[in-house]
Chain A
Amino acid sequence: MINLTINNQPVSVEEGSTILEAAGKLGIRIPTLCHIKLDCFNVEHRVGSCRVCVVEVEGRPNLAPSCCTPVMEGMVVKTNTIRAINARRTMLDLILSDHPKDCLTCEKNLECELQNLAQEMGLHRIVYEGEQSTYPKDMANESIVRDLNKCIMCRRCETACNEIQTVGILSGVRRGFEAVVAPSGERPLNETKCTFCGQCVAACPVGALTEMDHTYAVWRALNDKTKTVVVQTAPAVRAAIGEMFGIMEGCTTGKMVTGLRMLGFDKVFDTDFTADLTIMEETHELIERVKAGKNLPILTSCCPGWVKFFEHQFPDMINIPSSAKSPQQMFGAVAKTFYAEKIGVKPEDMVVVSVMPCLAKKYEASREEFNSSGARDVDIVISTRELGKMFQEAGILFEKLEDSEYDSPLGESTGAAVIFGATGGVLEAALRTAADWLTGEDLKDIDFKAVRGFEAIREATVNVAGMDIKVAVASGLGNARKLLEKIRSGEADYTAIEIMACPGGCLNGGGQPYIHGDTSILKKRMDALYAEDTGKTIRKSHQNPDIKKIYEEFFGEPGSHKAHELLHTHYKARTNA
């Protein structure tokens, strides 16, 4: 242990800790901007570029950046001297000199770490007026807007894209005043291998990277009398939307459903229903492949970021992921065929809106093959954050809402579906169904805890109907890459693998409320999803009564011709820088 004093308080911390960490232990806050640490994934971005965190260290002529200065025995640190405070303010003044002052209309208004710092440090005027950057916005894709005039060059997005996701799209280019973060050749994102996972958006402290806002299209649809507007909500949304209204624990499913009705949706449905449907199709495929003993392992395919990743990076392996569509796209297909027919509405008079924790889902819905109904199956995709903003705009006091239930028939779901929102959940849901199908029993022991948690890659051998099945779960594309490389080299002999592009799964999707580095929030979301699962009377997809019905009335059997037509898809090898 190393002993030092900070602001006259003694503290001892482990060797290798930084002054910032030691101060945190004492309950002293030092402002930071470029630094970010994601504890549960062992990720730290420590570049020391913004110098907002400087402190005075006795005996050193220069101020030290506390986020990247290791502690030393006997160190005497002062975090709040006038010299340190003035230096911080100057750093902020300089950053602001080349930052647009349009906070009022910025996508990140009230969520911006730079804005917060300016407030916290009492900046009340612009000290330096000078030349401003004038980069054009990149809005050529469905998911992400890049407005580099707001970039403060903290490079947090680079760590997200290059280190965590290993997609390698973003890099600091050019230098000095002209420096920006951009893809190679300064191409727009849609001309790159970007997966639209949105982890760079989640990492960006300012408004330089944000989601493509589609809320206005939803308002327009809701106000169009000629349209039947239905909405689906993804599993992970219910575990996070409450945060935007101060509810930090548990799922707020019932309130969210009420709120959606108040917004004016004709029917409020659940992506969980089609998550159950996904399990039916995927598990059927799994068992077929195991019986035939070929084309294993089977990989899950519900995550569009992951799908785009393997299409670009592992084009030689595009036949191993399950051909099942994602729950979002299954919902779109079912809503505009089966359901539209049932209620006697023409598919072109129906608008399907999705609320997703994800930015890649916006891109997914625009993929041209998703047109089972003859046109786009999912018309508009908004993120959890965008839904929260719509509630605010509509004057809905979310925290005060009563609970209500989803509409029938695309609203009924099981515990197996809700855990899709956490890494490991899809695999666990599939195992629950596989075990029952293979034994022909209704098994009671259905918690496959070995596949839960935030650990990068989790492997387990699970006994299903007397058969040992080797499974693995990875979240975060860097971890996915490791698994895929093992499969490619023949080193691994898994039967089933679940992959989610975002670390921790959808609960940490690029469209979720910002956590600003506080990963304890992710833990709470995960607990909320598993609690929702345990609280359900039906916890296995194949026991969902409305799922049984839709097979009886419409699809026949899992894997049937009709199921293949509407619920399955294909992948294509892609290149691009």
Chain B
Amino acid sequence: MGDACSCGGCVGSKIGCDNVLDKFPEQKADLEKYMDSLPIGKEKEANRGLLIQCLHKAQGIYGYLPESVQLFVANKLGLHLSEVYGVISFYSYFTDIPVGENKINVCLGTACFVKGADKVMAEFERVLGVKDGQTTENGKFTLGGLRCVGACSLAPVVMVNDRVYGNVTPAMVGDIIADCK
């Protein structure tokens, strides 16, 4: 675990920091309130069913899932930290490294790929100057690939935060980025 944090504002600045729980009591209260509203019981197996939604909420709050947050969720659900980490590492949606303000995700599922998602991805990489999985230096954008998002009729699909763009061509990349500003 990292040393005491001195960055002064992990959530806003997206700088990696493992002290977010203590640093941001309001956010922690938010997560706690959400988890307390769930039917968490004594049975580990039943609680496991609640894990994904808790992680979803936590990532919504913090932007990513540092270990202290994983441990918080694990303890509340009575799960082992390793099990929580296993789930986070399984789903490409979750991340334990800090991400940019805007998450640009290019679907690389079969349908999108066949319709040219790789070219869209390459264009994003060129314009943003980062590779798949990386965050731009100014902390504004994180570029990633996704497995199928279930919108194959719109292939190729790009998701920017909660917004979905369909039938994307490399020519549209500049406008999509401009939309974020």
Contacts and interface: CB of A to CB of B under 8 A. Distances in A.
B81 A577 contact: yes
Interface in B64-83: 67, 70-71, 79-83
Contact of A168 (B67, B70, B81): B81
Contacts of B90: 172-175
A171 interface: yes
Contact of B82 (A169, A174, A175): A169
B84 interface: yes
User: Chain B: interface residue count, which band?
Assistant: 10 to 19
B45 to A, nearest CB: 11
Contacts of A388: none
B161 interface: no
Contact of A171 (B71, B82, B96): B82
Contacts of B83: 162, 168, 171
B80 A171 contact: yes
Nearest to A184: B85
A168 B77 CA distance: 14
A185 interface: yes
B86 interface: yes
Contacts of B82: 162, 168-171, 182-184, 577
B53 interface: no
Interface string B1-32: 10000000000000000000000000000000
A175 B96 CA distance: 16
Nearest to A178: B89
A232 to B, nearest CB: 35
A174 B95 CA distance: 12
A184 B86 CA distance: 7
Among B1, B79, B81, chain A packs the most CB atoms within 10 A around the CB of B81
Interface in A160-188: 162, 168-175, 182-185
Contacts of B71: 577
A162 B80 contact: yes
Contacts of B70: 184
B130 to A, nearest CB: 21
Contact of A173 (B1, B79, B89): B89
A174 B80 contact: no
Nearest to B92: A175
10 contacts: A169-B82, A170-B82, A171-B85, A171-B86, A173-B85, A173-B86, A183-B82, A184-B81, A185-B67, A577-B81
The 9 closest A-B pairs by CB, nearest first: A168-B80, A171-B86, A184-B85, A171-B82, A173-B89, A184-B82, A184-B81, A174-B89, A171-B83
Given A171-B85, A174-B89, 9 more contacts: A168-B80, A172-B90, A173-B90, A184-B70, A185-B85, A577-B1, A577-B67, A577-B81, A577-B82
